[in-house]
Amino acid sequence: MKDQTPTVTTGPLPASRRVWRAGERHPDIRVPMREIDLHPTAGEPPVTVYDSSGPYTDPDAEIVIDRGLPRLREAWITARGDTEAYKGRDISPADNGFAEGARLVPEFPVGHAPRRATKGRAVTQMAYARAGIVTPEMEFVAIRENLGRKAQAKALARDGEGFGAAIPDFITPEFVRDEIAEGRAIIPANINHPEAEPMAIGRNFLVKINANIGNSAVTSSMAEEVEKMVWATRWGADTVMDLSTGRNIHNIRDWIIRNSPVPIGTVPLYQALEKVNGIAEDLTWEVYRDTLIEQAEQGVDYFTIHAGVRLHMIPMTVDRVTGIVSRGGSIMAKWCLHHHRESFLYEHFDEICDIARVYDVSFSLGDGLRPGSIADANDEAQFAELETLGELTQVAWAKDCQVMIEGPGHVPMHKIKANMDKQLATCGEAPFYTLGPLTTDIAPGYDHITSGIGAAMIGWFGCAMLCYVTPKEHLGLPDRDDVKTGVITYKIAAHAADLAKGHPAAQARDDALSRARFEFRWEDQFNLSLDPETARSMHDETLPKEAHKVAHFCSMCGPKFCSMRISHDIRAEAQKEGMEKMAEKFRDGGDLYIPLEDVK
Amino acid sequence: MKDQTPTVTTGPLPASRRVWRAGERHPDIRVPMREIDLHPTAGEPPVTVYDSSGPYTDPDAEIVIDRGLPRLREAWITARGDTEAYKGRDISPADNGFAEGARLVPEFPVGHAPRRATKGRAVTQMAYARAGIVTPEMEFVAIRENLGRKAQAKALARDGEGFGAAIPDFITPEFVRDEIAEGRAIIPANINHPEAEPMAIGRNFLVKINANIGNSAVTSSMAEEVEKMVWATRWGADTVMDLSTGRNIHNIRDWIIRNSPVPIGTVPLYQALEKVNGIAEDLTWEVYRDTLIEQAEQGVDYFTIHAGVRLHMIPMTVDRVTGIVSRGGSIMAKWCLHHHRESFLYEHFDEICDIARVYDVSFSLGDGLRPGSIADANDEAQFAELETLGELTQVAWAKDCQVMIEGPGHVPMHKIKANMDKQLATCGEAPFYTLGPLTTDIAPGYDHITSGIGAAMIGWFGCAMLCYVTPKEHLGLPDRDDVKTGVITYKIAAHAADLAKGHPAAQARDDALSRARFEFRWEDQFNLSLDPETARSMHDETLPKEAHKVAHFCSMCGPKFCSMRISHDIRAEAQKEGMEKMAEKFRDGGDLYIPLEDVK
C-alpha cells in the first residue's frame, strides 16, 4: 500500500506565509489566511488574501496523506452534545464497483467511526442558526470573510452595484448566523468531515468557486485525484466536487475527504448507478438511499440531488438542440420514462432531507434540465425544473437542511441576468451555484474562457458559487494543467464579480498590485498575482536577467517608450511646479475647437 | 535579400474552402467567405463564416511575399478619377531609425508610386457616402456582413438586446452608405493600401477585433512581424496595428502593408519619437506631420492620434494609482509639461484632417488618459479627454474624415456600461474601439481573460471593435502562441457580443456546432470551432484512436454516463410513445409538495 500513497504538492506560494486569526467568541478557533509580503521599498504592510489551500502551504505542517488532515472541527462537534458515534454501514464490494485484487484501490488506512445526530435532532448549521446559536463554524467564516480586516468606526466608502445583495462593511458572526438562518447562505460542513475549514456560500459573502475532479471509466487513478484536489485548493478552489464514475468510487473518495481542507461535494446518483451496473432503469430508492448514507458517513459535505427532473418535463426537452446534457438529469429522465413513473428522487425528497439533517449534508439541488447549447437557454424545460427546485427548497428548509441551487450551463449574455433574477425569486434567495455559463458554443478548447465571461457576469448579478470549466470541457478529462487553468480563470471571474458588487475588501489586492506595477516592483507584481509562477516565467521569457527585475521598464515598450516612467517624471514635475495653477491658466481660453454641432 | 523573405503560414483551415460572392451593383467585386463542410450524415449545407485571412488560406492563390498581395482595389480607386499618382516623399535614414548595413531591414522589393486626392478633393468613404455614392467598398462590406445569406421576404425572429443598436435583418449597400455618412461606421481603406479587403467597424455590424504586432527596441524582427500579421488574420483578426518602436520601422511596415489583407493601423507618434531620438520634448509638429505623410503614402489605414491629451488635464492624473499608462498619452503629456504649452496634436488637428482626407486614412482618436488600473477607472482625467475626443470628432467629420474613438483599459464590470453610454453621447455615435477592458488587475499572465470578460460585455453594449490583449500583457512581448491565444479569446468575446446583441446570422454557427455535438459528429465539432487544431488535439489526448471520432461517447463520462446518448434514447422513445399525452396524465395530481410558504 505504501507505494500507492499519493504525492501531493506542498510548500508556500512565493513571498507568502500562512497566518491565523483567533476567534473572540471561540478563542480556540484559528482562521487561516495568506499574507503576501511586499518589497521593503513599498513601505506597505503585507497583503492579506483568502486562503483555501489548507495545511499544504504551511511549511510547519506535517503532511501525512496516509493519516489525513487534523480533525479541527471534531471538538466543536462533540462539544455540542447532539451527536453520537456509531458503527456505520458495512462497506460492500458494490461500493467500489466490484473492483478486486490489484484493481482495488486500498482502503484509507485510518478508520473513524461515523457520527450522526441523536434521535430526532437536526445538526445542521441552519438548525443552530435558527436556534440563535453562533457556532464556531459561523465565527470562523465571519473572520475568514473579512480577510483580516478590523471593523471600522465609520462607514466605508463603497463603490459597486450589488443588484440587491447586502454585503456589510464588516462581517460579524451574528451576520453569518442570520444569513444561514434565512437560507441565504450555507456552510457545507458534514459532521463526518471535521478536517475541512469552514467556508460560506452566499450572495452576501465573497464569491466562491468549485473545481471538479474525479476518475472516469476511461481514465485516471486515486493518487492523481488526491493530488488534483490538493492542487485545485492551492490555486483557490473553495470546494471540490468528486465526480468519479468508474470503479473504486468509495475508496478514492475516502482518500480525498480525509485529506481535503475544503468541503467535498458529490453526485450520489453516479455511484448508485455503478451499483446497478450502469442500467438507469434498475435504479431504486433503496440503492440510492443506501448510497446517501454511505457517502454521508464518509463525510461528503454536499450532495447534488437531481430531484427537480420530473416526468412531465421530459417532453419539453424533446425538441431541444442538445436534449438533456446533465448526466444526472438524463439518468433520471431515462428512469422516469422507462417506468412511466414520477422520479423517485422527487417522491422521496422528504426522506432525503431526513438523512441530510442528521449529518448536516447540504443540498445542491441539481439542474438536470440545464441547457447544453445557446439555442436551448432559458427554455420551458429549464425554468419548469427551477420552479420545482423552489418547491424542494421549502421542503428542505422545513427540515432545517441547507440548500443551494444549481444553474446553467450555456446561456448567451443577454439571457444571464434573467437566470439570476428568476432563481432568487423562485428559490427564496437560496444561494445560486452555476456552471459557467458558457456564452457561446463555438470554442471547444477555450470553454474556460467562454464560460469565464458568463461566470463573472452571473457572479456580479448575485451567483454565490461558480463551478469551474476547464479548457478540456466537451473534449476530455482535465489534467493537472487544465485544473489549474480552470481554477485561475474562475478566481478571476469571482474576483471581478466581488469588485463589481463592491465588496469592501476586494479592491485592496488590485490596488496593491497596481501600485507595484507603477513602481516597477516586479517581484511584488508577480507575488500579488493569482499565478505568480506564470507571471514570472512570462516576464523572464523576454527579460530573463535578474537586473531586469528592478529595471524601470519592460520588454513591451523598452526604456524610451515607458509610459509608467514618464508618468513618474510628470508626477515629480507637478510637485515641483504647482501644476494646478499653471494648468488653470492654460485652461482659460485654451479651447481651439468650438463644437460644430450639438452632439448631445 | 532573398533569404530575408518571411515564411508565412498558408493553407486552408480543416474542411474549409475559401469562396466568393459577386456584387450586384459592382459585378466585378469578389467577396471572400469561408465555407466549412460538414459530414454527409449531418444532411446540412456548409456553414459560412466571416473570413479575414486573405489569400493565404486559398490553396489556389500564389503567395509571393516579395511581391505583395494582388491590388484588388486599385481599379476601383483609379476609376473614381479623383486621385493622382505622384512621386512621394523621399525616404530618409531617420525613417528607419538610422539603421545601417546588416542591421537595416531591406526595402520592400516592389515600389508603387503613392496616390493622393487631386486638389481640394476628399477621397474618403465618408465623403462618397455623404455624396450619396455607394462605392464598391460599401457593397463589398454589405455582402461580407451578411455571411452569404440572402435577403428574406419576411422579418426574421430576432433574439437579443442591442441597447439601441439597430442591426437590420439584412445589410444592403445603401445601409452601409448611410452608416458611413452618419459617422456610425467606418471603412478604414487608405487608397495606398489597395491590397486590403474592405471591412466595416460600427455598432450595427459584426463586432470586430484588432491584433497588435510590432517589434520593440528590445526584441523581434521583420520576418516575425510579417508572419504574426498573417497568423493573426488566419485566426480572425479584422485589423492589425503595427506598434513597432525600434529601428527599421519604415521598412518593416512596408513589408507588412504590402502583404496585409486587413487594414493596418499605427500610432505615428511612436515613429516620430524615434526620429527625435526618443526625446519627447524634441518632438515638433513638422516631424510629426512628415511622419503622417510618410505613413499615409505607404498605405496605413488608420492612425491613432493622441490629440485629446491636453495640458490642463495632466494634473488630473497626478493622484492616480497608475498615472498615465498610454505610451502616446505619456509622451504628449511630457511634451506639454516641458514646453508649458498646449498639445501640438490638438492645435494642429485641423491640418491632420487635411492630410487624412486626401488618402482616406481613418482616425482612431487615442485615449491617452485611459485608466491603467481598477482604481483609476472612469475618473475625471479619462472623461475629460473623452469630451475632447467628442469635439475632435466633429472637426474630423466636418472634413469628411472617418473617425473611431479609443477606449479603456482597466474597468471593473459595474463601470463598463457607463463608458459605452458616455462615448455614444459624447462622440455622436462614432464607433468605439476599446482595449479590453480588464476587469481586475490581479492576474498578469491571464490578462487575455481578465480583459476578454470586459471585451465581451462592452461589445454587447455597443463597442464596435475590441483590441486584443494577450497573455503576455504587462509582462513581455507576445510570441506566435500568445498572438493566437489573444485572437481566439477576442473572437470569443466578439461572437458572444454578436449573439447577445441579436445579430441575425450569429447563432447559426453555435447551432451547427451544438447539433454536431449532440450527434457525436466529432470532426464537425472540431471543424466548426474557432480553433480546430486545439479542439482536436485536446480530444485526442484522452481518446486518440480514429474509431473514437465516431464513438457515441467521450472520455468525460464514458459510455454508461453519456447524457447525450441517453437523450437520444429519450427522443426515440418519445416519438414512439406520444410523450405529451402520457406526461400530461402524470402532471394531473402529480405534485407531491405543496409550497410551505409563498416564496415569491
Q: What is the CA radius of gyration of chain B?
A: 26
B43 is in an annotated binding site: no
Q: pLDDT for A206-237, tens place per residue? A: 999 999 998 765 545 889 999 999 999 999 99
Amino acid identity of residue A399, one-letter, is K
CA angle A19, A23, A28 (to 5 degrees): 85
> How far, in Å, CA of A101 to CA of A326, rounded?
33
Q: What percent of chain A has pLDDT over 70?
A: 91
Residue B495: pLDDT over 90: yes
> How far, in Å, CA of A375 to CA of A371, rounded?
8
Q: pLDDT for A17-65, tens place per residue? A: 999 999 999 999 999 999 999 999 999 999 999 999 999 999 999 999 9
Residue B589's pLDDT band (cuts 50, 70, 90): very low
Q: Which residues of B touch A593 (CB under 8 A)?
A: 349, 391-392, 394-395
Residue B109's pLDDT band (cuts 50, 70, 90): very high
| ipTM exceeding 0.85, yes/no | yes
Q: Is A572 on the interface with B (CB under 8 A)?
A: no
Neighbours of B331 (CB within 10 A): 27
Q: Write the DSSP symbol of residue A152.
A: P
Q: Which residues of A touch B501 (CB under 8 A)?
A: 414
pLDDT value of position B595: 44
A338 is in an annotated binding site: no
Determine contact, residues B406/B370, Cβ cutoff 8 Å. yes
Q: Give the side-chain half-sphere CA count within 13 A for A258.
A: 21
Chain B CA closest to residue A525: B444
Which of B342, B515, B558 is the closest to A590 by Cβ? B342
The reply to whether residue B460 touches residue A496, judged by beta carbons under 8 angstroms, is no
Determine contact, residues A260/A52, Cβ cutoff 8 Å. no
A289: burial class by Cβ within 10 Å (0-12, 13-18, 19+)? middle
What lies within 8 Å, CB to CB, of B349 at 6+ separation is A592, A593, B305, B307, B392, B395, B396
Neighbours of A546 (CB within 10 A): 8
Residue B455: pLDDT over 80: yes
Residue A150's pLDDT band (cuts 50, 70, 90): confident
Averaged over B415-444, what is the pLDDT?
Answer: 98
Residue A246's pLDDT band (cuts 50, 70, 90): confident
Which of A325, A390, A443 is the closest to B564 by Cβ? A325
Q: Which CATH fold topology does A71-504 show?
A: TIM Barrel (3.20.20)
CA angle B126, B128, B133 (to 5 degrees): 130
Q: Is B13 on the interface with A (CB under 8 A)?
A: no
Residue A1's pLDDT band (cuts 50, 70, 90): very low
What residue has cell string 455511484? A271
Q: Is A440 on the interface with B (CB under 8 A)?
A: yes
Return the C-alpha cell found at B493: 468575446
pLDDT value of position B499: 98
Residue A579: pLDDT over 70: no
pLDDT value of position B600: 34
Alpha carbon B153 to chain centroid, angstroms: 32
Residue B594's pLDDT band (cuts 50, 70, 90): very low
Q: pLDDT for A428-440, tens place per residue? A: 999 999 999 999 9
For A329-339, give one letter per residue: b (16+ CB within 10 A) or e: bbbbbbbbbbe
Residue A473: pLDDT over 70: yes
Residue B372's pLDDT band (cuts 50, 70, 90): very high
Return the C-alpha cell found at A501: 458588487
Residue from A45, A48, A43 nearest A19 by CA = A48
pLDDT value of position A591: 53
Determine contact, residues A258/A193, Cβ cutoff 8 Å. no
Q: Write the DSSP symbol of residue B553.
A: S
The reply to whether residue B518 touches residue A570, judged by beta carbons under 8 angstroms, is no
> How far, in Å, CA of B489 to CA of A356, rounded?
42
Q: Which segment of A145-159, A177-191, A315-329 scores lowest on mean pLDDT?
A: A145-159
Averaged over B168-195, what is the pLDDT?
Answer: 98
> How far, in Å, CA of B526 to CA of B522, rounded?
6
Q: What is the DSSP string of A70-136?
A: --TTHHHHHHT--EEE---PPP-GGGGTT--GGGSPPPPSS----EEEPTT---SHHHHHHTT---H
Q: Which helix (DSSP H) or strand (DSSP E) does residue B302 occupy? A: strand B302-305
Averaged over B15-22, what is the pLDDT?
Answer: 97
Interface test with B, best of A13, A182, A570, A580 (most B CBs within 10 A): A570
pLDDT value of position B598: 38
Q: pLDDT for B113-172, tens place per residue? A: 999 999 999 999 999 999 999 999 999 999 999 998 888 888 888 899 999 999 999 999
Return the C-alpha cell found at A345: 428522487
> How far, in Å, CA of A147 to CA of A48, rounded?
6
pLDDT value of position A549: 65
pLDDT value of position B3: 46
Residue from A171, A175, A363, A189 nearest A261 by CA = A189
pLDDT value of position B599: 33
Q: Which segment of A73-77, A544-548, B198-202 scores lowest on mean pLDDT?
A: A544-548
Averaged over B336-340, what is the pLDDT?
Answer: 92
Number of residues assigned to chain B = 600
Averaged over B300-313, what is the pLDDT?
Answer: 97
The reply to whether residue A391 touches residue B593, judged by beta carbons under 8 angstroms, is yes
Please, what is the average pLDDT of chain A? 92
Residue B246's pLDDT band (cuts 50, 70, 90): confident
Q: Which segment of A53-67, B257-271, B470-484, B531-545 scores lowest on mean pLDDT?
A: B531-545
pLDDT value of position B290: 98
Residue A595: pLDDT over 80: no
The reply to whether residue B337 touches residue A580, judged by beta carbons under 8 angstroms, is no
Distances, alpha carbon A127 to alpha carbons A10, B43, B480, B596, in Å: 37, 57, 57, 18
Q: pLDDT for B45-56, tens place per residue? A: 999 999 999 999
CB interface of B with A, residues 368-427, below 8 Å: 372-375, 390-395, 397-398, 410, 412-414, 425-427
Interstrand relation of A201-202 and B47-49 (parallel, antiparallel or unpaired): unpaired
Distances, alpha carbon A406 to alpha carbons A187, A429, A431, A466, A495, in Å: 16, 13, 9, 10, 20
The reply to whether residue B218 touches residue A543, judged by beta carbons under 8 angstroms, is yes
Q: pLDDT for B190-202, tens place per residue? A: 999 999 999 999 9
Record the pTM: 0.95
Q: Is B217 on the interface with A (CB under 8 A)?
A: yes
Interface test with B, best of A380, A442, A469, A474 (most B CBs within 10 A): A442
The reply to whether residue B564 touches residue A322, judged by beta carbons under 8 angstroms, is yes
Neighbours of B63 (CB within 10 A): 14
User: How big is the A-B interface in CB pairs under 8 Å?
Assistant: 498
Q: Is A586 on the interface with B (CB under 8 A)?
A: yes
Q: pLDDT for A88-112, tens place per residue? A: 999 999 999 998 888 899 999 999 9
Return the C-alpha cell found at A511: 490596488
Sorted by where each begins, the domain ranges of chain A are 71-504, 552-599
Return the C-alpha cell found at B498: 454578436
Neighbours of B5 (CB within 10 A): 16
> How far, in Å, CA of A279 to CA of B165, rounded?
51
